[in-house]
Amino acid sequence: MHIASPVLALVAVAVAACSPQAPPLAQQPAGNAKRGQALLAQYQCGSCHTIPGVQSAGGRAAASLEGFGGRSYIAGRMAMRPDLLAQWVHKPQSLVPQTTMPDMGVTRVDASDMAAYLLELK
């Protein structure tokens, strides 16, 4: 029985390593803030938000993101944590179903990079 546990653990690791799915956001490495800055423009987040340092990001339909990295909460509801912020950018309705923030089709990797940039805005 003791031999089966390590064998099963190795099989589980091997299966997970071959999985095409991205790792959960909490397990992803910190994002690339410079790339995130460019992605915020690419995904046109500035259509709704004012975002310092992002070209054409002067939207007024949603909250300004100036000083965002110094805030305590995301959307006034969730603790400001990199993994939660990346999840919020990736799939906002998964955290707050009634939010008006749309799902922009941001990939997990892109969301992690965008979150890294937003967290630098102090």
CATH of domain 32-120: 2.60.40.420
Q: Do 119 and 69 form a contact (C-beta atoms < 8 A)?
A: yes
Query: Which residue stretches of 1-122 are H helix?
Result: 4-18, 33-42, 82-90, 92-95, 108-120
pLDDT tens digit string along 63-96?
999 999 999 999 999 999 999 999 999 999 999 9
- Residue 13 carries which side chain, given as an amino acid letter? V
pLDDT tens digit string along 12-26?
444 444 444 444 545
Residue spans per domain, the chain: 32-120
pTM for this entry: 0.76
